[in-house]
Amino acid sequence: MPVQYIPHPIRAVRTVPVRALDPTLGALVNVYQNLRLRPISVQVSVECTQNIVANQARFVAYTGATVPLCWDVSGYGGHRGLAGAGTGFAHFYLEFMVEPGQYYRVAADQGAGNVVALNIWVEIEL
């Protein structure tokens, strides 16, 4: 007897949750966990303004199975160290995957006089 195929509708569910950047790399203030039964795609838009070139203005995305001080780096962007003379401004887009049960966060790494600002944070359940 042949097996009948029963289509299972799978649709991506897009949400724009209230999220915030961790204020520093070492802070574990804004840590989130994927409590869904499916993986999610996290899409983050960040602006990095570097007014003092000796300092950095960057962000780092982390994922991990637990909440330790050091996680797996899922992506990063921004100005690190000496980026040249004058003010540097950049807009970055980052996308990373989070498995069910994993923790995730995006941390700012901004030296004095520099700014890392979150534009939008979107999560898509796959």
Considering the chain, what percentage of its residues have pLDDT values greater than 70?
84
Q: For residue 10, is it within any domain?
A: no
Q: For residue 118, is it within any domain?
A: yes
Q: For residue 105, is it within any domain?
A: yes
Rounded Cα distance, 82 and 85, in Å: 8
- The pLDDT score that the predictor gives to residue 2 is 66
Any idea what the CATH number is for the domain that residue 82 is in?
2.60.120
Task: Supply the range of the domain harboring residue 55.
Answer: 19-125
Nearest to 55 by CA among 108, 109, 106: 109
Count the domains in the chain: 1
Q: For residue 5, is it within any domain?
A: no
The yes-or-no verdict on residue 35 having pLDDT over 90 is: yes
- The pLDDT score that the predictor gives to residue 79 is 75
The pLDDT tens digits for 67-95 are: 865 578 888 788 766 655 667 788 899 99
